[in-house]
Structure 1
């Protein structure tokens, strides 16, 4: 089977194997998928500025006319040399036609062409992923959230390009603010390098001054707003996360963990006789989250928390079954929770 584990992808991309002319990149981090696809394109040897040699196709359009892909694969470049076909937006809908085409390319490798297919998060049983993994001339590359060495490597690349040094402590502080999306993360590091232009090293103060923390702060702020019933704040917060490329599952998982913790805190209040402020203090939340957490613990009873947890779990399952709708599903989950919290608050005032 032609597939790599997530930790092996960077090594493969550093020396791409042309015996796999068709490459599928998939995962929840759209920015990482796009960046790695661009890297394969750059290493393909194709002139990316030549519109006859570098072709971009939309997956949803190919589902209506898959013959176009087969025609492009068989087309010979006017001036000779290798061609590049980049298929974007795969993984939505059935993807049956594209999966069948990839299966054909796996059995009958195309000549002098590199095919790069960019997809969202695909289940193990997804036809497109199965076709790529089983083909002798196709390669499936999973692209998951930036972690550890991959994120460090990206930071080092940008620092070297800018001629800047960065201490271990400063790098730790920077890494903690990155990771929601590869392109967004790289953009933040590039912004930091520009901010430090003329200096020899990046300091923690520079990071505090210029680097945003979309991957953590906004996720937590969004969850706090939903749990405490701040309905009006949610659309803007969700929009910020969406524009930064934050994966929907991060919000779903964060919300699930929050309400699991909320359930335990309410048990301490209702069955242990502790005060809301004492229960919240025992969790040692960041000072910026303390007020919102106290509001949430005061609003939600044990009886109210239970159906919310069931609803979140059901929505997580639905988003995994329909990955193309994951963003819409998590948005509805957050709004539903926020509206219920607002209702509980209104009842408490009567």
Structure 2
């Protein structure tokens, strides 16, 4: 079976073995998957800027026209040498999975095929097919979060000739999120800010590095519960582009609705003012207006019903993993619409 353990992937990346012309990378962090795919592509020797030698395809498009993949994989390069084909956004699509299995059974002489996928279960057709194929290799992209973050931070600091004190490093790591590329971008931004200084401190981090892991998620959740319908789609898109896990949105939304339900009981059954109930929770000042709006608008019965619906949608998205993002997006938008209706009553 052609597969590497998660702990063996870094060693493979240092010296990729292209005797496996089909390479599948998968894992929950799309930023990490993309970064590692880029490393492999760079070491393939193929000029990524040459449109005759390199092409990037979307998995969703290939599901509609799988013949395109065969055309690209079996076409001989016009000027000799190998061609590089990268597929992004792969999942449990049947057409793509079957095509990759077929191409992996033969040794592609003129092409290197790199496939970037999200989290794939052990029984996923794409993952099983690659693991069992003779000329393909599966690379799971997981990481020890603490060690991986330290390594990435050190890479960027060394590149910039900077150092960071212990408090600064701890503060920085606490603000970095699940997406590898987004986190690296924050560290790069910090290095530019601190250029010319002797050492980066926690104060520097607080000034320039946003909380990648929480701020954007909370902003989207607050838009949903307060009825900011027009604002919400762009916030969801920003999160998905940054690779925020769908489960993080789901769990934060469910937890917020449950908190609102508990607070609404104090309003309806104990007659407490909305402002006093919110103040007792001591939310961050940025979240306070949205929470006050939501608590003042949602009836207790509607919050209970919405909580049950979120739980059902979470279960549905786990059963239909490839539809998880669509299910979650529709769920959040419908909650925002209902919140807007409650505000008008």
Q: Give the TM-score, by structure 2 length.
A: 0.82
1:165 partnered with 2:163 = yes
3-state DSSP of counterpart to 1:179: coil
Number of equivalences: 345
Aligned residues of 2:26 and 2:141 also touching (Cα < 8 A): yes
Mean alpha-carbon deviation: is it higher for 34-43 or for 143-152? Answer: 143-152
Aligned residues of 1:151 and 1:179 also touching (Cα < 8 A): no
Alpha-carbon RMSD: 3.4
Shift of 1:23: 1.3
Aligned residues of 1:9 and 1:142 also touching (Cα < 8 A): yes
CA distance in 1, matches of 2:76, 2:315: 45
Deviations 1:133-191, CA, capped at 9 Å, x for gaps: 33243223344699322222222111111111112221222223322532222222222
Residue 210 (structure 1) aligns with = 208
Superposition pairs for residues 159-238 of structure 1, below 5 Å?
159-238=157-236
Shift of 1:86: 1.8
CA distance in 2, matches of 1:69, 1:191: 38
Aligned residues of 1:214 and 1:241 also touching (Cα < 8 A): no
Superposition pairs for residues 59-74 of structure 1, below 5 Å?
59-63=59-63, 66-70=66-70, 72-74=72-74
CA distance in 2, matches of 1:70, 1:234: 39
CA distance in 2, matches of 1:171, 1:186: 14
- Structure 2: runs of 5 or more not aligned: none
Aligned residues of 2:30 and 2:243 also touching (Cα < 8 A): yes
Residue 46 (structure 1) aligns with = 46
Q: 1:69 to 1:236 in 2, by over 3 A?
A: closer
CA distance in 2, matches of 1:271, 1:298: 14
Task: Name which of 302, 307, 315 aligns with 1:309.
Answer: 307
- Structure 1: runs of 5 or more not aligned: none
Residue 13 (structure 1) aligns with = 13
Task: Name which of 285, 288, 302 aligns with 2:286.
Answer: 288
Q: 1:2 to 1:286 in 2, by over 3 A?
A: farther
Mean alpha-carbon deviation: is it higher for 59-68 or for 337-346? Answer: 59-68
Deviations 1:16-39, CA, capped at 9 Å, x for gaps: 344533111234543332222111
Q: 1:198 to 1:102 in 2, by over 3 A?
A: same
Q: 1:276 to 1:68 in 2, by over 3 A?
A: closer
CA distance in 2, matches of 1:250, 1:9: 26
Task: Name which of 250, 257, 260 aligns with 2:258.
Answer: 260
Mean alpha-carbon deviation: is it higher for 174-183 or for 30-39? Answer: 174-183
CA distance in 1, matches of 2:238, 2:99: 37
Deviations 1:94-121, CA, capped at 9 Å, x for gaps: 7333222322344333346432012344
Q: 1:325 to 1:163 in 2, by over 3 A?
A: same
Q: Give the TM-score, by structure 1 length.
A: 0.81
